A and B are shown apart, each in its own frame.
Chain A
Amino acid sequence: MANALEIKELKKEYGSKAAVNKISFDVEEDSLFALLGVNGAGKTTTIKMLTGLANPTSGDAMIFGHSIVNEKELVKTFVNLSPQETSIAPNLSVRENLEFMAGIYGMDKEKTARKTQEMIEMFSLQEVEKDKAKTLSGGWQRKVSIAMALITEPKLLFLDEPTLGLDVLARRELWNVIEKLKKEVTIVLTTHYMEEVEALADKIAIMVSGEVKAIGTLNELIEQTGTKNLEEAFVSIAGKN
């Protein structure tokens, strides 16, 4: 299978501190890749560089063959993210939020209406589509936030801790949504929830202090560390540093 993302020696320094230190890995097309790490491991900085929100200090990444350094504006047209914090226009309705994002990515009226309806149905947003986004619960807001990213038809979607702060039911519901998305778009997911990774990820990378310390499938990581499950494998790898 072809690679959606190829990261080569990507580095980001803030002052003298390297937030991300020469990381390299590939993500296969139409797969879900999980990026794990404790707080401050460099996950969000990596996503920021890959989505054009921060310029790398050195190195590069190719997204569907296009450089994030030399073709940043082009890459932005087929990459999208659902940030860690809820990123919706609070006084706009759910439908208006979706239409707004479609418009920003240059869709015409007809396509905007069609894609908006598609997202509302895909994420089961019918009962809240006319509600102002700020009045929704955390679970609904996260669904809207992901729908806003997906409406732009990205080829690569970054989900930065999409289930953070959600209750068990809302989290499970969102897992089902992400599971469905896997068939349509390549996803890079960051999370602190190990069971989320076990349920969804095809491949996992563990970041520690800005570096990728381990990479592989769930079984490979468990095997490498001689542990029983992902949580133990994660502690074994991240705890060494």
Chain B
Amino acid sequence: MKGLIFCKRTVKEILRDPLSYIFCLGFPIIMLIIMTIVNESIPKQANMTVFQIQNLAPGIAYFGMTFVMLFACIQVSKDRNTALIMRLHASPMKSYDFILGYTLSVIIIALLQLAVTFLASYIVAIVVKGELSIPGMFMSMLSLIPSAIMFISFGMIFGTLVSEKAAPGVCSIIISVVGMIGGIWMDIDNMKGAILNISKWLPFYHGVKASRLMLAGEYSEMIKPLAITIIFMIATYVLAIVIMRIKLNKDTR
């Protein structure tokens, strides 16, 4: 219950910050429009499909989750530096109330962002005469939830370990890595070599792949990438819980 009350407060704090709308909602839409224009400029003979709407929509939705990580990170690190958190530590709140509160609040923001991204993608698909099915988009959204939790976990870990000033810098490293080797802006499968190998060792490529396969309705193909994504989600969330608990206990020593 205390976790839910803390969640409600955190949602309000995030939604009342204008930056949330710029990064969480405005950014994916702008990227979608820009990349669609880029795609329209690419000759068909180039056979480049990564910016076509059926690949672009889940890719941008996934990339948007990295900004959700940034928000989780900033919120946690910002809270740590305020006296409000001192007041809450002196209250009957437990460490799991904090973890639940942060997780739920940022998941709400992530779902909102996913919904806006896919809605905008659907409109773009109509304009460019692309193909996006509503059930496919819904399934793709569902497949992105484990990735959202994984990125929220990253956000909580960095937010717990680094200062509010350092938080955006640390997150930008992950954002850049996701952009490069997640297969969002380039076709990793056709690149082969070291890039493909590195991508397969990290969760981002699999998360993007699962969401694209879900959108395409290729459910049998998506089991493996989705399973890998879920394993990474569990690992990072457990790590986030351990780190936050250690830090909270350390703060009261």
Contact = CB atoms under 8 A, between A and B. Distances in A.
Interface of A: 51-55, 73, 76-77, 79-92, 96, 100-101, 103-106, 132, 148-149, 152
B21 to A, nearest CB: 13
21 contacts: A51-B90, A53-B251, A54-B253, A76-B90, A76-B91, A76-B92, A80-B90, A80-B91, A83-B86, A87-B84, A89-B12, A89-B13, A90-B13, A91-B17, A92-B9, A101-B91, A104-B2, A104-B92, A106-B2, A106-B92, A148-B87
Contact of B86 (A53, A55, A100, A103): A53
A50 to B, nearest CB: 10
Contacts of B92: 73, 76-77, 104-106
Given A105-B91, A106-B92, A91 B12 contact: yes
B252 interface: yes
A50 B6 CA distance: 24
A104 B17 contact: no
- Secondary structure class of chain B's binding surface, majority of residues: helix
Contacts of A103: 1-2, 5, 8
A84 B5 contact: no
Contacts of A52: 89-90, 252
A85 B17 CA distance: 22
B83 interface: yes
B93 interface: yes
Contacts of A132: 16
Contacts of B13: 89-92
B234 interface: no
Please name the 5 residue pairs, one residue from A and one from B, whose CB atoms are nearest each other, closest first: A87-B83, A85-B83, A103-B5, A91-B16, A83-B83
Nearest to B88: A104
Contacts of A101: 87, 91
A87 B93 CA distance: 16
A169 to B, nearest CB: 24
A96 B12 contact: yes
A87 B87 CA distance: 7
B41 interface: no
A85 B5 CA distance: 23
B82 interface: yes
Contact of A83 (B1, B17, B87): B87
A171 to B, nearest CB: 19
Nearest to B87: A87
Interface in B230-253: 251-253
A55 B252 contact: yes
Contacts of A100: 5, 8-9
Contacts of A96: 9, 12
A239 to B, nearest CB: 31
A82 B84 CA distance: 9
Contacts of B253: 54-55
Given A87-B82, A87-B83, A92 B90 contact: no
B2 A53 contact: no
